[in-house]
Amino acid sequence: MDLTSDPVDGALVVRVNEDRIDAAVAIQFKDRMRELTVDRTGTVILDLGRVDFVDSSGLGAIVSVMKFLAPTRKLELAALTANVGKVFRLTRMDSVFAIHENAPAQEIGNAQ
């Protein structure tokens, strides 16, 4: 699972560099998110701007990451594509997550 992260304004922005989060990659997604966030503090913003498809397994994986971070850290979402935004609205998960229209810009020299 291709995820990259960088600190931006006190938060950790994790960018999903894949077009799908589905049953085929859900476990890899959760494992990679844990690797990237285990030693971090503060809010984690998941940039879904490149993701065009999330199925129920992918949604479950995102919720699992939220639970892993809780209660000391928040998982927020950013840059949802139309298809992904529809999934979050239909499942009412848009009321569970803070959703930002755009992901924070990457700070130069901080990419991981």
CATH number at residue 95: 3.30.750.24
Structural domain boundaries, residue 12: 3-100
Does any domain span residue 79? yes
Q: Is residue 111 part of a domain?
A: no
Number of domains in the chain: 1
Res 112: pLDDT? 45
* Mean pLDDT for the chain overall: 93
Q: What is the pLDDT of residues 14-67, one digit of tens each?
A: 999 999 999 999 999 999 999 999 988 899 999 999 999 999 999 999 999 999
pTM: 0.91
- Alpha carbons 42 and 11: distance in angstroms, whole number: 6
